[in-house]
Amino acid sequence: MKLKQGSFLWYLYLDKLYCLLSVRNVKALVEYFHLLDVHRKKTLNDVLFYHFLHHVTDLKRNQITIVFNMLDWNAVGEIGFDQFYMLVCILLAQENHLEEQFIFRHSRPVFELLDLDGELKIGPSNFHMYNFLFKIKKQQLRDLYHDFDITGDCRLNYKEFKLFTIFSMNKYQESQKAVEEEKALPEKKVSQVNVSQRESLLGINHFESVSNYNCEHL
Amino acid sequence: MEEKPFKALAKSSGHRGSGKSSPHDIRNLCTTATQSQPKLNVPLPTVREDSELEGSSVGSTTCWSYNQKAGHDSDGGWEESDDGEDKDSFKPEELDEHALMELEMRRGSSLGGPLEEDDSKTDDEKSSSVSSLNISKHTPHRAYWVEQQSRLPLPLTELMENEALEILTKALRSYRSEIGRDHFLTKQLQRYIEGLKRRRNKRLQVMVI
ipTM of this predicted structure: 0.77
Domains (range + CATH), chain A? 1-96 (1.10.238.10), 98-183 (1.10.238.10)
Residues of B in Cβ contact (< 8 Å) with A50: 174
Q: A147 CB contacts (<8 Å, ≥6 apart)?
A: A164, A167
Residues of B in Cβ contact (< 8 Å) with A31: 152, 157, 160
B141, pLDDT greater than 70: yes
Closest CA to B5 of B147, B162, B151, B164: B151
Looking at chain B, which residue has its C-alpha nearest residue A7?
A: B163
C-beta separation of A143 from A128 below 8 A? no
Per-residue pLDDT of chain A (218 residues), as tens digits, is 888 888 999 999 999 889 999 998 999 999 999 999 999 999 999 999 999 999 999 999 999 999 999 999 888 999 999 999 999 999 999 999 998 899 999 999 999 998 888 889 888 888 888 888 888 777 778 887 888 888 888 888 999 999 988 988 888 888 888 888 888 876 666 666 666 666 655 555 544 444 444 445 44
Out of B166, B175, B189, the one facing A55 most closely (by C-beta) is B166
pLDDT at res. A21: 94
Mean pLDDT of B5-13: 39
Query: Does A11 contact chain B (CB < 8 Å)?
Result: yes
Closest CA to A68 of A21, A9, A133, A13: A133
Query: Does A162 contact chain B (CB < 8 Å)?
Result: no
Cβ-Cβ pairs closer than 8 A, A with B, add up to: 54
Residue-wise pLDDT for B42-88, tens only, equals 444 333 434 333 333 333 333 333 334 333 443 433 333 344 444 44
**B159–A31 C-beta distance less than 8 A:** no
Bridge partners, residue A73, by sequence: none
Reported confidence tier of residue B177, pLDDT bands at 50, 70, 90: very high
C-beta separation of B120 from B71 below 8 A? yes
Out of B157, B159, B188, the one facing A39 most closely (by C-beta) is B188
Question: What are the residue boundaries of the structural domains of chain B, listed by start?
Answer: 152-208
